[in-house]
Amino acid sequence: KAGVTQTPRYLIKTRGQQVTLSCSPISGHRSVSWYQQTPGQGLQFLFEYFSETQRNKGNFPGRFSGRQFSNSRSEMNVSTLELGDSALYLCASSLGLAGGGETQYFGPGTRLLVL
Amino acid sequence: KNEVEQSPQNLTAQEGEFITINCSYSVGVSALHWLQQHPGGGIVSLFMLSSGKKKHGRLIATINIQEKHSSLHITASHPRDSAVYICAVPGTGNQFYFGTGTSLTVIP
């Protein structure tokens, strides 16, 4: 069974631009969660989608948004990029809701650099 | 105050040593997760546990729900165990809280 895939793997943008990242979960998994990882803040939860609905959201500004499609693939979008958005963005998939005790399977991440 | 505290932050061990990483949390949990992140970013879920102890090869994870504390042990450590180990707990609203991670280096 193929693992979680994320595209692109690396991305360079400038301040003010917007970016869209994609995550394809493991086949059959209905939950996709997104995380931001920075050296200063560590791993932080962005949001979780399950059956095309956002179920949980972390403490991030509205510039961070996402969606999930009927095939469970998910995208996250960051608008008006700031330097502080430079980070590794990870997605993880699970059969059920992540907080319900399900094991999450992580993708390799997208490394975003904002100049 | 962070919801999840890990110690130590950095750990260097000689090959073969027994290693312990600790995690304390303040949020209520249904299950605690231990994650391993290798250089390059890939994260692997090692354990999910809600009580007692779990063992997988040389890795052992324990949790004490009453004391809100979990430990990850590595027996007979090996250089390939070098990685960052992160504990994570689901809090209110099912969002995840993460420890800051323990960076482990095992020297041959």
Q: What is the pLDDT of residue B34?
A: 95
Q: Is the pLDDT of residue B96 over 90?
A: no
Q: Is the pLDDT of residue B87 over 90?
A: yes
Q: Choosing among A43, A56, A57, which should be mutated to test the B contact, i.e. which has the most B CBs within 10 A?
A: A43
CA distance A80 to chain B (A): 25
Per-residue pLDDT of A42-58, as tens digits, reads: 899 999 999 999 988 88
Q: Is the pLDDT of residue B93 over 70?
A: no
Residue type at B39 in one-letter notation: P
B34: nearest CA partner in chain A: A103
Extract the tokens encoding A103.
Answer: 């094991």
- How many other β-carbons are positioned within 10 Å of the β-carbon of residue A16? 10
Extract the tokens encoding B76.
Answer: 């007979």
User: Who's near B66: CB < 8 A, 6+ residues apart?
Assistant: none
- Is the separation of the CB atoms in A5 and A30 below 8 Å? no
The sign of the CA dihedral A76, B42, A8, A96 is: negative
The residue to which tokens 């879920």 are assigned: B45
A44 with B86: Cβ contact below 8 A = no
- Name the DSSP class of A40: T
Structure confidence at residue A102 as a pLDDT band (50, 70, 90): confident
Q: What is the pLDDT of residue A12?
A: 95
Mean residue pLDDT of chain B comes to 90
Q: What is the pLDDT of residue A107?
A: 94
Nearest-CA neighbor of A98 among A54, A48, A37?
A48
Which chain A residues touch B97 with a CB distance below 8 Å?
45
Structure confidence at residue B1 as a pLDDT band (50, 70, 90): low
Nearest-CA neighbor of B100 among A97, A38, A108, A7?
A38
CA distance B50 to chain A (A): 8
